[in-house]
Amino acid sequence: MAAEPAGTTTSVEAILAATRAVIAEQGPGKVTMSAIASAAGVSRPTLYRWFPTKDHVLAALSDYESRLFETRLQALVDAERTPARRLDAALRFLVTYLDGLMGPNPIAADPAFALANLAASLGPQTTTFARLVGDALDRVPAVQAGRLTRDQAADILMRLAISNYLLPHPDQEELVANIRGFAGLPRRSITRAAG
């Protein structure tokens, strides 16, 4: 992707968000540049100015999704003052972020692509989660006892989020409560934002 002049970030983000929506609906193999341009509400020349090929769009999409994960999680943990509240907000985020990012069922459109995308994002997002949540992960009983590191606890929590996305729990609030209990928090929310 070319460097973005001032004021174009919104257009590029609109293109990438639209690409995700088109992929969720059609699968990446059937996505065309025309479909992306139409979904993003931009002309094809504008699309080609930023992304000369579909492969360029797909590569940029991965970076875009990593940035979204980080900025959304950062905003949540920054809003909380105590480690327990940061962890609580981060756990709710983990249970819900994939639905908002990828939509309700991108697996149906192209299972191989969706699973590869989830697998490729796991490592970087786990690292981001561990870094941003930081000392709040020390509240996890297995971390307190020295049986897990913060990074290992973050990995388990990320894998729980992905497994919930692939096989959704019938009651999301119950799942969040269960994860809170696993993480050494009260089963009821303690964050203002999570309510």
40 vs 14: CA distance, rounded Å: 6
CA distances from 101 to 14, 23, 125, 185 (A): 13, 12, 13, 26
Numbers of helices and strands, H then E, in the chain: 10, 0
142 vs 156: CA distance, rounded Å: 11
CATH architecture assignment, domain 9-182: Orthogonal Bundle (1.10)
Query: What residue segments make up the domains of the chain, in order of their start?
Result: 9-182
Stated pTM of the model? 0.82
pLDDT tens for the chain, residues 1 to 195: 444 444 455 689 889 989 888 887 887 778 899 999 999 999 999 999 999 999 899 889 888 888 989 999 999 999 999 999 999 999 999 988 877 666 556 566 677 877 888 898 999 999 999 999 999 999 999 999 999 999 999 999 999 988 888 888 899 899 999 999 999 999 887 765 443
